[in-house]
Each structure stands twice: as C-alpha cells, then as structure tokens.
Structure 1
Amino acid sequence: MAAAVELLDARGVDGFTMRRLADRLGAGVMSLYWHVANKEDVFDLALDSVLEYRGPQPTVESRGWRGDVVHLLEDWRASMLRHPWSASLLPRRALGPSILGRLELLSRALSGAGVADADLNVAIWSLWNYVMGATVTRASFDLSDDDRAAAQQRLTRLGDRYPTIERSHLLLDDDWDGTFRTGLGLLLDGLPSR
C-alpha cells in the first residue's frame, strides 16, 4: 500500500495504473492480482491507509467533546491535504475501517455532547460536507500571490457591483487553517443547543 500511496501522490487517480504500480514494486502486473482483485481494491486500501486516525498524543489530556471533534476533523483534513487524491476518491469508495472508525469517534463525541440521536446524522453529514468542501477548495484553489492580487484589483475596479466581497478582501485571504477552524467553530456552536 505504501507504493500505491506514493504512486497516487505522484500521479493522482487518473495517472495510476496497475502497470505503474507493478513497475514501482519491481514485479509483474499479474503478480499483483494474487493480492488484490483489481485497481478499485487498491484504491480502497490506499484510501483507508491514508485516512487512519491515530488519535491525539497519549500525553494530551481530553479537551472535552469539542476539542476531540476539532482534533479529529483537523487531522482528517490534514490527511486529505497530504494526499489530495483521497478527497476525490472518498465519496465514491466503500467505507473502510479507518473512515468508519473516524465516523464512530465523531458520532460518540457528538452524542456525548448532547446531540440527540434524531439529529446525529444531520450533524455528521454537515461536518463531513464541511471537511470535504474545505479540503477540496484548499487543494484546488492554489493561486499565486500575484494572481490573487490581480484578482483583488479587478474586484476593486468592479467594487460598485461587488462591494461586500471587495471590502472583505476575500481573494487575498490565505489563512486556510484559521478559516477552517473558525468555520468549524461556527458549526460546532450550534450542535449541542439543538
């Protein structure tokens, strides 16, 4: 799986072939099929390996439900940013033990925070969608400083049509981690009160 992950990191999903994996391993293509049924199995296993959650350091005291949820989701996002192909595979793959384990920990933390069983799925899918959206946006919105400055100048010229966006300097904001954490905080603020 380490070789498959390296190949996916280097080539992405579209550039991944069983031939390339076999070459990387110094093996014949057909020998791979003793271990996996097909390329889809490799994707499932590679995805599960990069999304494994090891939890906070053993020396770290529990930060309560909110701290545990933030750590879990920040770790999930960081894992997907290290392996950008994972975000594109996750919605269409079988859920392996690693992502199911994350979902169980998330469910348990939210339930312990007082989120009613009737609202638990809504809370989980809302947080899932937030993490996925923030990750895909961060991975794909990679403009240079010059490109962002030029786009902001264009917005300034069009300020009469887009005054709020221009005033907020939306395109110059590159605090991806801070924005993620703040947005996550806004979502979490409303959960236990329901």
Structure 2
Amino acid sequence: MTDSVWLREPRPRRENPPLSVERITAEAVALLDEEGPDRLTMRRLAERLGTGSTTLYWHVRTKDDVLDLALDEIFGDVPIPGRTGDWRADATAMLGGWRAAMLRHPWSAALLGRPLLGPNVLARTEFLYATLAGAGFTGPHLVATAYALSHYVIGSTLMQAGTGDDLRDTVDAMLRERRDRYPSLAEHGHTSGHDWDEVFARGLAYLLDGMTPHAAPGSRPS
C-alpha cells in the first residue's frame, strides 16, 4: 500500500488550527473502542469532532489514514522495557505489553494486516529486533524468530478478542454433546474454557524454549 499515511510528506501546520491530527486520532480511538471499526466513517468522526467533513479531509485523506493513525496511537501506550541482559525476559515483557494494548482495544487485532509503519510501532519493533540480535540471532534466523513471536501474539489476541466470556458455556455444552466426534476437545476443553493469560504465557515460553538453543551461548539466560 504505497499511499499509506506514513509514507506521505506531512502537510504544513496551520496557525491555531480548529482541528489537529492528534485530536482526530484521539477521537477515532474513542469511537473505535465504543463501536468498532465497522461504525467508523468520516462523517461520524467529523460529527463527533464538531466539525465539517471538509476540515477533516484537510488533515486525513481517507478512513484508512484514520485507522493507521489510531492503530499506531494505541501502541504508544506499550512501555518499552529496560534491558535486563536476559533476552527472553526482555522479549516477554515487550510482547506482553503489546498483547495487553490490543486487548484494551479489541478492534486493533483485526487491523494488524495493515502496514505497521507508524513511529510507535516501529520503535517497539526495533526493540524486539535489537533484543533478538543481542541474543545472537542474525539474518533470516532473526526475521523468522521475530515473525514467529509476533504472529503468536497476534493470533492469540485475535482468538481471545473474538471469543467473549458469554460463549464459554455454549462451547462447552456443544463439545459435551458431540464428545464422540471431538473427544479430545470435550475432555480438555476449548481454549475459551481456560485462563487466557496462563495459556498465553505457557505458549510463549514453549516458543522461547525452542528458540533458545539457536541463540548465542553467552546470551542465554542462566
């Protein structure tokens, strides 16, 4: 997508503008939190901002611009951890913060197919890559490791965000009724029947366990 808001030269700022990109972004995040991306339109956003569509379009060209700005904004709340010297702990802290931000804004997980080129996302991705590089991963090994960890966070967040607590009893009942077809699921339960945080942490640890032998020996945690 070459027309990304992050790849254009910013327009010059007006003096005492009636509207700003920062205000547009904050209102867009609030609307998305309340109603989700399907309800976000430029007209509704302009109404919430108390302005006309023409003024809004001076700052952002399309709804895609607004979504990209909003997505980057929520990642600005993810703390960039201090480096501890333990690459696994540092990566776990970064990924846990990323997951928590998406769960606070459930609409975000469904938008992660968009170009992630905003400064907040790039700063945190840089931290993850630097952490893995410091552990001894290089070239395609570093990229594969970063992708595996990122995709795990995205996938687990998508699943949790799309499975409300009210669905748990329904799923469990269905699996009990169809035990002959799904005996393992009926016995051990669907993912929604477990503690999401515990399942996420355990799965992430399994991934890191598999990656650790490929890190530089001096970078492995004691």
Q: Distance in 2 between matches of 1:95 and 1:5?
A: 18
One-letter identity of the residue aligned with 1:54 = P
Distance apart, 1:51 and its partner CA: 1.2
- More divergent stretch after superposition (127-136 vs 116-125): 116-125
Using the TM superposition, give the Cα deviation of residue 153 of structure 1 relative to its aligned residue in structure 2, in angstroms.
Answer: 4.1
The yes-or-no answer on 1:155 pairing with 2:175 is yes
Question: Matched residues in 1 for 2:175 and 2:84: separation?
Answer: 45
Kindly provide the CA deviation profile for residues 61-118 of structure 1, in whole angstroms up to 9, marking residues without a partner as x. 7262111111111111111111112111121235212222221111111111222323
Looking at structure 1, the residues matched to 49 and 162 of structure 2 have their Cα atoms a distance apart, in angstroms, of: 30
Q: Which residue matches 2:21? A: none
Match of 1:106 in 2: 128
- Mapping for residues 26-105 of structure 1, pairs under 5 Å: 26-52=50-76, 53-56=78-81, 62=84, 64-105=86-127
The 5 A counterparts of 1:10-21 are: 10-21=34-45
Q: 1:171 to 1:32 in 2, by over 3 A?
A: closer
1:192 and 2:212 are equivalent in the alignment: yes
Distance 1:155 1:90, change over 3 A: closer
- TM-superposed CA distance for 1:172, in Å, is 6.3
Aligned to 2:187: 167
State the shift of 1:170 in Å: 3.2
Provide Cα deviations, 1:16-57, integer angstroms capped at 9, x if missing partner.
01111111111111111222222211111111111123324x
The farther-off stretch of 35-44 and 89-98 is 89-98
**Are the equivalent residues in 1 in contact too, given 2:80–2:127 (CA < 8 A)?**
no
- Give me the whole-angstrom Cα distance separating, in 2, the residues matched to 1:4 and 1:76: 20
Confirm or deny: 8 A CA contact 1:87 1:135 kept in the other structure.
yes
Alpha-carbon spacing, 1:114–1:9, altered in 2? closer, same or farther (3 Å): same
Q: How high is the TM-score relative to the length of structure 1?
A: 0.87
Q: Give how far 1:162 is off.
A: 2.8
8 Å CA contact 2:79–2:97 kept in 1: the answer is: no
Contact 2:129/2:146 (8 A) holds in 1? yes
Q: Quick one: structure 1 residues 123 and 28, their matched pair in 2 at CA, closer, same or farther if it must change by over 3 Å?
A: same
Distance 1:62 1:20 in 2: 45
Q: How many residues align?
A: 189
Identity %: 44
For the residue of structure 1 that corresponds to 2:61, the secondary structure is coil
Runs (5+) with no aligned partner, structure 1: none
Alpha carbons 1:115, 1:192 under 8 Å: kept: no
Question: Aligned in 2, Cα 1:157/1:38: closer, same or farther, shift over 3 Å?
Answer: closer
Q: RMSD across aligned C-alpha pairs, in angstroms?
A: 2.0
Q: For the residues of structure 2 that align with 1:135 and 1:175, how far apart are their CA atoms?
A: 13
Tell me: CA distance 1:98–1:171, structure 2 relative to 1, closer, same or farther (3 Å): closer
* Conserved? CA contact 1:155–1:162, under 8 Å: yes
